[in-house]
Amino acid sequence: MPAGGRSIRTKQCLRIQRRLAALESELETTRERVRRLENTLREAVRTADDVSIGGPCSCGESLLLVRDRTLYCPECRYRRTV
């Protein structure tokens, strides 16, 4: 094995560990953000008249909203009467 082999691998390993730690921290931040949004949205929908939330839209950018017997996506043009 070349003399530098081990230290190169150690450097790569440290880089991966740092990247992983950064991702874990990012994931935790995202989790908190989603939880806050869910709690806020649940209350906003509960107190709004005649609005409810359906499943995810096929565009993947939003959940569907149901209002006045119409299912619609606020992000794309999808709209359907229910």
Q: Which residues of this protein are in contact with Zn ion, per CB under 5 A?
A: 57, 59, 73, 75-76, 78
Query: Least Å distance between CB 71 and Zn ion?
Result: 11
Nearer to Zn ion by Cβ, of 16 and 41: the residue is 41
Query: Least Å distance between CB 74 and Zn ion?
Result: 8
Nearer to Zn ion by Cβ, of 10 and 52: the residue is 52
Contact (Cβ atoms closer than 8 angstroms) between residue 53 and residue 63: yes
Query: Least Å distance between CB 6 and Zn ion?
Result: 52
Q: 80: Cβ–Cβ under 8 A, 6 or more apart, which residues?
A: 70, 71, 72
